[in-house]
Amino acid sequence: MNKADTAMQELLKVMALLRDKDKGCPWDIKQDFQSIAPHTLEEVYEVIDCIEREDYQHLPEELGDLLFQVVFYTQMASEVGMFSFEDVCKAITRKLLTRHPHVFPDASIDSFGRQSDLSPEQVEARWEEIKQQERLQKGQKAESSLLEDVPQALPALLRARKLQGRAASGGFDWDQTDDVVAKLKEEVAELEAALQEDDRKHIEEEFGDMLFSMVNLARHLKLNPESSLRAANSKFSARFRCMEKLIEEDRQDLQSMNLQEMEKYWQKAKHKLSGSVSV
């Protein structure tokens, strides 16, 4: 047994002891799948935050916290005979072998190394074909929707991207990026018309359509809309904090300024930050 195996077995043992009904941790013992789920999402975001800040020193700790979530679920499941950690590992291994025929031609580790002439585009198309086959194997009917198993609980931007990608796999997609831009402009015009009507329900509907089109544009540009928005958030935060500092240095009060005065400091902040980072 190598060091990684030993470390994994130790973690599994610690988790089992934490859930021990007699001598375990009261908090860990009372948890269930529903109560742990929010913590899992929190740990995912902490990993992402660590990566975006390039804080690789603390990344192992955050990844460990995320791994602990998987171990927690498998421990709870094994206690009632649902599945084990081994089942989880086997499932993902089987999926990776099956979904990479260009790397593992016969879906086995032993087949690794055989030459494949598939292009990246062919690999992506094959990936969707394999996933469709897997959906059928799970009992979904051949005539069921391509959108059948796109999770409802996904964050809205991610779900929009997945819905669009799944529809595109069936041929429902724009051929050119210019067409997507034109569609976005159309949605903006419809939002402007809704604003003139002052109908809140209609405004929300058209705003949602505009966002959906923006996600579609990101997909065609091969951008991740979530990452793009997070980057914009970071840029705004950096500029605003810099503006606050400049105002404080001039012994001014942000709260008492009008928008025109704030704009001057905002432009100063942009200029100052442009010399150090891309903002």
Domain end point (choices 28, 50, 83): 83
Residue 211 shares a structural domain with residue 231? no
**Structural domains counted in the chain:** 3
Q: What is the mean pLDDT of residues 8-17?
A: 97
Q: What is the structure's pLDDT at 278?
A: 46
Distances (CA, A) of 242 to 158, 233, 267, 273: 31, 14, 10, 8
Domain end point (choices 83, 103, 123): 83
**Residue 58 DSSP SS3:** coil
| Rounded Cα–Cα distance for residues 156 and 160 (Å) | 6
Query: Of the given ranges (51-60, 107-116, 159-168), which has the lowest mean pLDDT?
Result: 107-116
Q: Which domain holds residue 70?
A: 3-83
CATH code at position 70: 1.10.287.1080
Q: What is the structure's pLDDT at 279?
A: 44
Residue 218 shares a structural domain with residue 247? no
Residue 73 belongs to some domain of the structure: yes
Residue 267 shares a structural domain with residue 200? no
Q: What is the structure's pLDDT at 105?
A: 85
Contact in structure between 165 and 220 (CB atoms under 8 Å):
no
Residue 67 belongs to some domain of the structure: yes
Res 277 pLDDT > 60: no
Q: What is the structure's pLDDT at 239?
A: 97
Q: What is the structure's pLDDT at 143?
A: 54
Torsion of CA 71, 77, 78, 80, to 10 degrees: 160
Contact in structure between 220 and 178 (CB atoms under 8 Å):
no
Q: Of 190, 195, 187, 191, which is closest to residue 217 (Cα–Cα)? A: 187
Residue 21 shares a structural domain with residue 63? yes
| Rounded Cα–Cα distance for residues 157 and 159 (Å) | 6
Residue 78 shares a structural domain with residue 11? yes
**In the numeric block, which tokens belong to residue 248?**
């404080």
Query: Of the given ranges (30-34, 114-118, 140-144), which has the lowest mean pLDDT?
Result: 140-144
| Rounded Cα–Cα distance for residues 130 and 124 (Å) | 10
Residue 231 shares a structural domain with residue 219? no
Residue with the two structure tokens 């897997």: 134
Q: Of 246, 250, 247, 241, which is closest to residue 277 (Cα–Cα)? A: 241
